[in-house]
Amino acid sequence: MNISIRALGLSAFLTLSAGAVSAAECIAPANPGGGWDFTCRQIGKILYTLGEVDSPVQVTNMAGGGGGLAFGHVVNERNTDEDLIVAASSATATRLAQNAFGGLTADQVRFVGAIGADPGVIVVADDSPYQSLNELVDAIKADPGSVAFAGGSAAGGFDHLKVLQVLKEAGFDDIRKIKYIGVDGGADAITQTVGGFTQAMTGDMSEIVGFLKAGEVRALAVLTQDRVPGFEDVPTAKEQGFDVVAVNWRGLYVPKDISDEAFNAWADKLLNVANSSEWKAAMEANGLAPFTMVGDQFQNWVNTVVASVEALSREIGVIQ
C-alpha cells in the first residue's frame, strides 16, 4: 500500500475541508503505515466516498503504549464524542484482557464493528505426518512434549493463544504443557517449522500464502467461521470439531457514553462500507478476508473474547 503523508506528530491530523464545523475523526493508535493507520485511512476514505459522512474524515495518529495512549485519551477526554471512531484489532482486545493499559478495561469503550480480518491458521511442514488438526491434537493429548509450535508473538501473545484455545476446546486442560516458541515474526516461525525445529506453526493467513503456494507447508486449519475465499481447500477448525474463531480483525471502537442512536448509526455506516465494492477491493489488495460483525453482536463477541483471553492468560501466568 503506497501512502504518502506528512508526519505531523502525536496530535496531527489530515486537513479538513475549509470551514467545516463538525466532522468525523478516526484515531489510529500508532504511527502512519501500520494496520491501525490503514484501518482509519481506508474506512475514512470510503465513508466519505459513499456519502456516509459530510466531510473527509480526520485521521489522528496517536502512537504509544501499544494502543494504550489512545485508549486512555478516549476514556478520559473524549468519552461522549459522537464524531469519534478509533481503529482497533485483535491486539486491542488481547492487551485489554491482559491489563496492558494500566488498569483501563474493555468496558470503558464500545466496540462498534469489524469488517475484515487476517485469518488465524495452524500449519505444518509439507512432509509432516499430521494430515489434519485432529491428528495433531491427538498427538499432543497423547504426549504434550512431542509437538512444539512456533509463532510470531511472544509467549502469551495472540499466536500462542490461538493454539491454547484449540487445545482447550479439545478438552486438554493442562495447557502449560503446550510447547510454544515465540520468534520474530511469522516468516521466522514458518522457517522453524519447515526446518524441523518445531512441528507446527501458528500465525496468520497473510504470513503463509507464499509458503503455501510453494508447497513448503500444509495448512491444517483456518480459524474462521467459513473457509477463506481463494483458499477453499483449507478446512476451518470449526468443521473439524473445534469451535474456535481467531482472526486478527480490523475494526473500530467508539466512546462509551455516546448515545445508542449514535452507536447504531456508526454500526450502519460501517456495514455499508463492508458491503461496498471499494472495501472489497481494499481487502483484496491488502490480503484481508471477509469478517463482518457490527453493533451489539460485535460488542458481545468482543466481551466473550476478552473474557476467554483473560482466563487463558491467568492460566498460563501472563497475568496474575
pLDDT digits (tens, 9 = 90+) for 133-165: 999 999 999 999 999 999 987 788 889 999 999
Which of 148, 209, 210 is CA-nearest to residue 182?
148
Average pLDDT, the chain: 89
CATH number of the domain located at residue range(s) 119-240 in this protein: 3.40.190.10
- Do 166 and 244 form a contact (C-beta atoms < 8 A)? yes
Residue with cell 466512546: 255
Residues with Cβ < 8 Å from 156, sequence gap 6 or more? 98, 313, 316, 318
Cell numbers of 242, please? 473445534
Taking phi over 0 as left and psi of -120 to 50 as alpha, with beta for the rest, 179 belongs to beta
Cell numbers of 92, please? 486491542
pLDDT digits (tens, 9 = 90+) for 56-103: 999 999 999 889 999 999 999 999 999 999 999 998 999 999 999 999
Which of 54, 30, 58, 60 is CA-nearest to residue 44?
58
What residue type is assigned to position 2 of the chain?
N
Residue with cell 502525536: 10
Cα distance between residue 205 and residue 319, in whole Å = 28
Total-model pTM: 0.76
- The whole-angstrom distance between residue 109's C-alpha and the CA centroid of its chain comes to 17
CB count in 10 Å sphere of residue 277? 8
pLDDT digits (tens, 9 = 90+) for 16-68: 333 333 589 999 998 888 789 999 999 999 999 999 999 999 999 999 988 99
Question: Same CATH topology for 25-117+248-315 and 119-240?
Answer: yes
The architecture of the domain spanning 25-117+248-315 is: 3-Layer(aba) Sandwich (3.40)
Domain range annotation of the chain: 25-117+248-315, 119-240
Which of 137, 104, 80 is CA-nearest to residue 29?
104
Between 14 and 217, name the one with better pLDDT: 217
- Do 150 and 181 form a contact (C-beta atoms < 8 A)? yes
Which of 90, 44, 42, 40 is CA-nearest to residue 62?
40
Integer CA distances (angstroms), 315 to 139, 151, 166, 186, 245, in order:
22, 19, 15, 25, 20
What local confidence, expressed as pLDDT, does residue 22 receive? 57
What local confidence, expressed as pLDDT, does residue 128 receive? 97
